[in-house]
Amino acid sequence: MRAPASVIIRSVGIHAPERRVTNEELSRTVDTSDEWIRTRSGIGERRIAGPGENPSDMGAKAAAQALERAGLRPEDIDLLVVATMTPDLPFPSTACLLQAKLGLRKDIPCFDVSAACSGFVYGLQVASDMVRSGRYRRALLVGAEKLSSVVDWSDRATCVLFGDAAGAAVLEACDEPGFGILAGELGADGANAELLYAAAGGSAKPASAATVAAGEHCLRMNGKEVFKLAVRVMAGACERVLAAAGSDASKVALFIPHQANIRIIQGVAEQLGLGMERFPLNLERYGNTSAASIPLALEQAWREGRVRHGDLVLLVAFGAGLTWGALLLRWHEPSR
Ligand code: UT7
């Protein structure tokens, strides 16, 4: 197959668990309040997966919706990439489990991308480049997280922030030039890995009764440092990507930022000299869903008709690693 002129997002889909946990409910188990959580983060509630409801299950539902909206069948997919920091199992990949659940073909590559909250942006660049090579016509990209499984529910500084969900996109080769990713930056700073990490549960320190008792398998974060870096790095990445594309922030119809904290998003908007009206928000209802947050926000913006054919859309994320990514897209109207 020859290399296509563009790679577009043909459709999007989402899934969030039914169970809603409000700030008020959390304030009954840790020393916090609805007022503190709302003013410090912008979060009002989050969804929490039930037992047996794993990233591959949530991802399968989001993917099924994206496939249905595109009028495609599982056998039409040539490549599966899953972005997650909470895989169902240490191995094999969540992508392999999802492949089986969706009934995708067996002659296709299926793999996970591990870039935490930047996972969907990393995955979009990787999957888009693979389709752009001409080897694969359609890719399924899924961001799926069950952060409730790694949160320390006694740590008020982190447990109020995270939630579970999945989002999916079907990418497709397109003959019209000038659509899809126009410019992008993916970056990482591993020297800051300990600002946001889990100390145990990997091969360096396998899970044991002692690590579990010490809560070392749970997420730990230096929130203040992450906050400062997030604003600076996301705004800088947006500026560099816009400059590389010969564009500027005023021409972007919609920014889709990773939804970690409304104050981080306000800081990015301010540094770019923009108002908040071009930054769709969903963290009030979902909290920080890591690799699922950008597809959740993108799907909502698309469903509400806020993104139109030919618009410039800038996806920007930041997360553990530390990792970041910004991708400038020319939107091609997907199927409904
Ligand atoms: O997805 C990417 C990764 N994550 C992020 O991007 C998160 C980045 N960081 C943040 O969003 C913010 O730093 C937080 C929301 C985590 C914290 O906000 P902050 O304004 O930086 O608060 P802080 O950590 O400076 O804490 C202020 C106070 C502290 O009390 P003292 O020391 O001033 O007495 C905390 O102990 O608020 C206290 N506090 C809380 N109080 C009520 C911390 N968490 C809570 C809580 N409820 N849940």
Is 224 near ligand 1, meaning CB less than 6 Å away? yes
Distance 163 CA to ligand 1 centre (A): 17
Is 268 near ligand 1, meaning CB less than 6 Å away? no
- Can you identify the CATH homologous superfamily of domain 180-330? Thiolase/Chalcone synthase (3.40.47.10)
**Confidence grade of residue 130 (pLDDT, cut at 50, 70, 90):** very high
Q: Do 289 and 147 meet the contact criterion of CB atoms below 8 Å apart?
A: yes
% pLDDT > 70, the chain: 99
Mean pLDDT of 114-141: 98
Radius of gyration of the chain (CA): 19
Buried b (16+ CB within 10 A) or exposed e, 145-162: bbbbbbbbeeebebbbbb
Per-residue pLDDT at 319 exceeds 70: yes
pLDDT tens for 5-62 read 999 999 999 999 999 999 999 999 999 999 999 999 999 999 999 999 999 999 999 9
Distance 164 CA to ligand 1 centre (A): 20
Distance 225 CA to ligand 1 centre (A): 11
Quote the pLDDT of residue 220.
Answer: 97
Give the residue, by CA position, lying nearest to ligand 1 atom 14. 223
Give the residue, by CA position, lying nearest to ligand 1 atom 38. 157
Per-residue pLDDT at 129 exceeds 60: yes
pLDDT tens for 144-178 read 999 999 999 999 999 999 999 999 999 999 999 99
Is 197 near ligand 1, meaning CB less than 6 Å away? no
Mean of all residue pLDDT scores within the chain: 97
Quote the pLDDT of residue 336.
Answer: 42
Closest ligand 1 atom to Cα of 226: 8
Topology match between the domains 6-174 and 180-330: yes
Q: Do 318 and 229 meet the contact criterion of CB atoms below 8 Å apart?
A: yes
Is 309 near ligand 1, meaning CB less than 6 Å away? no
Q: Catalytic: which of 117, 159, 218, 238?
A: 117
Quote the pLDDT of residue 246.
Answer: 97
Quote the pLDDT of residue 277.
Answer: 95
Residue boundaries of the structural domains of the chain: 6-174, 180-330
pLDDT tens for 23-33 read 999 999 999 99
Mean pLDDT of 203-217: 96
Q: pTM of this prediction?
A: 0.96
- CATH number attached to the domain at 6-174: 3.40.47.10
pLDDT tens for 249-268 read 999 999 999 999 999 999 99
Per-residue pLDDT at 335 exceeds 90: no
Is 231 near ligand 1, meaning CB less than 6 Å away? no
- For every residue of 4-15, DSSP letters joined together read PSEEEEEEEEEE
Distance 221 CA to ligand 1 centre (A): 10
Tell me how far CA of residue 279 lies from CA of 47, 181, 262, 313, in angstroms. Answer: 22, 19, 10, 10
Is 319 near ligand 1, meaning CB less than 6 Å away? yes
Distance 36 CA to ligand 1 centre (A): 9
Instruction: Identify the H or E element spanning 209.
Output: helix 209-213
Confirm whether 110 is a catalytic residue.
no
Quote the pLDDT of residue 334.
Answer: 66
**Confidence grade of residue 2 (pLDDT, cut at 50, 70, 90):** confident
Per-residue pLDDT at 314 exceeds 90: yes
Tell me how far CA of residue 225 lies from CA of 82, 141, 229, 319, in angstroms. Answer: 28, 30, 6, 12
Quote the pLDDT of residue 333.
Answer: 84
Q: Mapping DSSP to helix (H, G, I), strand (E, B) and coil, where does residue 41 land?
A: helix
Confirm whether 309 is a catalytic residue.
no
